Amino acid sequence: MSMVFITDVETREPGFLQITWDDGVTREVDITDWLTGRALIEMLQIPEVFRDVKIIEGGGGLEWINGVDFCAQALRLHSDAQENSELKVDA
């Protein structure tokens, strides 16, 4: 997979993002399983904190006001895995 960059992000309820990458793919990505384990990351479960996300490094990732960040590539790989999982369930 070649590098992809985020061009747009919208938050839904805590743990759910709608992300558009520069290759034109737009998906809702569930990162709820990433939001446990550390106090700083668990803060993203608070709606006001989760909504305060921005695109960083020219689309190379997302960052929240508390400093938590995820790279665009990891988010895309997670999204691809979710998409493939949904296709298997629907089949």
Q: Worst-scoring range by mean pLDDT, 8-12, 30-34, 72-76, 86-90?
A: 86-90
Q: Residue 1's pLDDT is what?
A: 66
Neighbouring-strand partners of residue 19: 9, 27
Give the model confidence (pLDDT) of 38-87 as tens digits: 999 999 999 999 999 999 999 999 999 999 999 999 999 999 999 988 66
Between CA 37 and CA 46 the distance in angstroms is 15
- Whether the predicted pLDDT of 11 surpasses 80: yes
- Stated pTM of the model: 0.90
The residue ranking higher by pLDDT, 1 or 10, is: 10
